[in-house]
Amino acid sequence: MGNATETAQLLLTQGVNVSEKDESGNTPLHNAVCENAIETAQLLITQGAEINAKNDKGLTPLHDAAETDATATAELLLKQGAEINAESDDGLTPLHIATEHNATETAELLNRYGGRE
Protein backbone atom coordinates (compact mmCIF):
# COMPACT_ATOMS: atom_id res chain seq x y z
CA MET A 1 0.00 0.00 0.00
CA GLY A 2 1.40 3.41 -0.98
CA ASN A 3 1.96 6.46 1.16
CA ALA A 4 -1.04 8.25 -0.37
CA THR A 5 -3.34 5.42 0.64
CA GLU A 6 -1.87 5.25 4.14
CA THR A 7 -2.29 9.01 4.50
CA ALA A 8 -5.89 8.79 3.28
CA GLN A 9 -6.61 6.01 5.77
CA LEU A 10 -5.19 8.10 8.60
CA LEU A 11 -7.27 11.12 7.61
CA LEU A 12 -10.41 9.02 7.30
CA THR A 13 -9.94 7.64 10.81
CA GLN A 14 -9.85 11.26 11.97
CA GLY A 15 -13.21 11.97 10.37
CA VAL A 16 -12.17 13.84 7.22
CA ASN A 17 -15.07 14.34 4.77
CA VAL A 18 -14.36 12.23 1.65
CA SER A 19 -16.43 14.59 -0.49
CA GLU A 20 -15.02 17.92 0.71
CA LYS A 21 -14.01 20.12 -2.21
CA ASP A 22 -10.87 22.21 -2.54
CA GLU A 23 -10.62 25.72 -4.05
CA SER A 24 -11.06 24.27 -7.57
CA GLY A 25 -14.01 22.14 -6.58
CA ASN A 26 -11.98 18.94 -6.68
CA THR A 27 -12.75 16.20 -4.18
CA PRO A 28 -10.15 13.83 -2.75
CA LEU A 29 -11.33 11.32 -5.38
CA HIS A 30 -10.54 13.79 -8.18
CA ASN A 31 -7.07 14.24 -6.72
CA ALA A 32 -6.45 10.50 -6.30
CA VAL A 33 -7.49 9.89 -9.90
CA CYS A 34 -5.24 12.70 -11.19
CA GLU A 35 -2.33 11.00 -9.41
CA ASN A 36 -3.44 7.60 -10.77
CA ALA A 37 -3.53 6.39 -7.16
CA ILE A 38 -5.94 3.51 -7.75
CA GLU A 39 -5.68 2.09 -4.22
CA THR A 40 -6.48 5.48 -2.73
CA ALA A 41 -9.37 5.93 -5.17
CA GLN A 42 -10.76 2.54 -4.16
CA LEU A 43 -10.45 3.43 -0.47
CA LEU A 44 -12.26 6.73 -0.99
CA ILE A 45 -15.06 5.05 -2.95
CA THR A 46 -15.42 2.43 -0.22
CA GLN A 47 -15.73 5.24 2.31
CA GLY A 48 -18.55 6.90 0.36
CA ALA A 49 -16.83 9.35 -1.99
CA GLU A 50 -19.23 10.76 -4.60
CA ILE A 51 -18.10 9.01 -7.78
CA ASN A 52 -19.77 11.54 -10.11
CA ALA A 53 -18.82 14.69 -8.19
CA LYS A 54 -18.16 17.63 -10.49
CA ASN A 55 -15.50 20.26 -9.93
CA ASP A 56 -15.78 23.95 -10.83
CA LYS A 57 -15.42 23.10 -14.55
CA GLY A 58 -17.99 20.33 -14.39
CA LEU A 59 -15.35 17.61 -14.65
CA THR A 60 -15.87 14.30 -12.87
CA PRO A 61 -13.14 11.93 -11.68
CA LEU A 62 -13.77 9.91 -14.87
CA HIS A 63 -12.91 12.99 -16.95
CA ASP A 64 -9.64 13.22 -15.01
CA ALA A 65 -8.86 9.55 -15.62
CA ALA A 66 -9.53 10.07 -19.32
CA GLU A 67 -7.21 13.08 -19.50
CA THR A 68 -4.32 11.27 -17.82
CA ASP A 69 -4.87 7.94 -19.62
CA ALA A 70 -5.37 6.22 -16.27
CA THR A 71 -7.12 3.21 -17.78
CA ALA A 72 -7.20 0.96 -14.71
CA THR A 73 -8.51 3.81 -12.59
CA ALA A 74 -11.13 4.66 -15.23
CA GLU A 75 -12.27 1.04 -15.24
CA LEU A 76 -12.54 1.07 -11.44
CA LEU A 77 -14.73 4.18 -11.64
CA LEU A 78 -16.92 2.66 -14.34
CA LYS A 79 -17.37 -0.58 -12.40
CA GLN A 80 -18.42 1.49 -9.39
CA GLY A 81 -21.09 3.35 -11.37
CA ALA A 82 -19.38 6.40 -12.85
CA GLU A 83 -21.51 8.14 -15.47
CA ILE A 84 -19.84 7.21 -18.77
CA ASN A 85 -21.26 10.18 -20.69
CA ALA A 86 -21.19 12.88 -18.02
CA GLU A 87 -20.69 16.27 -19.65
CA SER A 88 -18.43 19.02 -18.36
CA ASP A 89 -19.57 22.63 -18.34
CA ASP A 90 -18.15 22.83 -21.88
CA GLY A 91 -20.16 19.80 -22.99
CA LEU A 92 -17.17 17.44 -23.06
CA THR A 93 -17.57 13.77 -22.21
CA PRO A 94 -14.77 11.58 -20.84
CA LEU A 95 -14.35 9.98 -24.29
CA HIS A 96 -13.97 13.39 -25.90
CA ILE A 97 -11.26 14.30 -23.39
CA ALA A 98 -9.47 10.95 -23.83
CA THR A 99 -9.44 11.44 -27.60
CA GLU A 100 -8.30 15.06 -27.28
CA HIS A 101 -5.36 14.00 -25.07
CA ASN A 102 -4.38 10.97 -27.18
CA ALA A 103 -5.25 8.67 -24.29
CA THR A 104 -5.75 5.74 -26.65
CA GLU A 105 -6.07 2.92 -24.12
CA THR A 106 -8.59 4.80 -22.00
CA ALA A 107 -10.53 5.88 -25.10
CA GLU A 108 -10.83 2.22 -26.13
CA LEU A 109 -12.10 1.34 -22.65
CA LEU A 110 -14.65 4.16 -22.73
CA ASN A 111 -15.84 2.99 -26.16
CA ARG A 112 -16.35 -0.54 -24.81
CA TYR A 113 -18.50 0.87 -22.00
CA GLY A 114 -20.65 2.87 -24.44
CA GLY A 115 -18.95 6.24 -24.23
CA ARG A 116 -19.79 8.90 -26.77
CA GLU A 117 -18.05 12.08 -27.82
Range of the domain at 76: 3-112
d(CA 59, CA 4): 22
- Tell me the torsion sign for CA atoms 101, 103, 104, 107: negative
In a domain, 86, yes or no: yes
In a domain, 117, yes or no: no
In a domain, 65, yes or no: yes
pLDDT tens string, the chain, 117 residues long: the values are: 445 555 555 555 656 677 888 899 999 999 999 999 999 899 899 989 999 999 999 999 999 999 999 999 999 999 999 999 999 999 999 999 999 999 999 999 999 999 998
CATH number, domain of 37, equals: 1.25.40.20
HSE-CB at 99 with a 13 A cutoff on CA atoms is: 10
pTM: 0.87
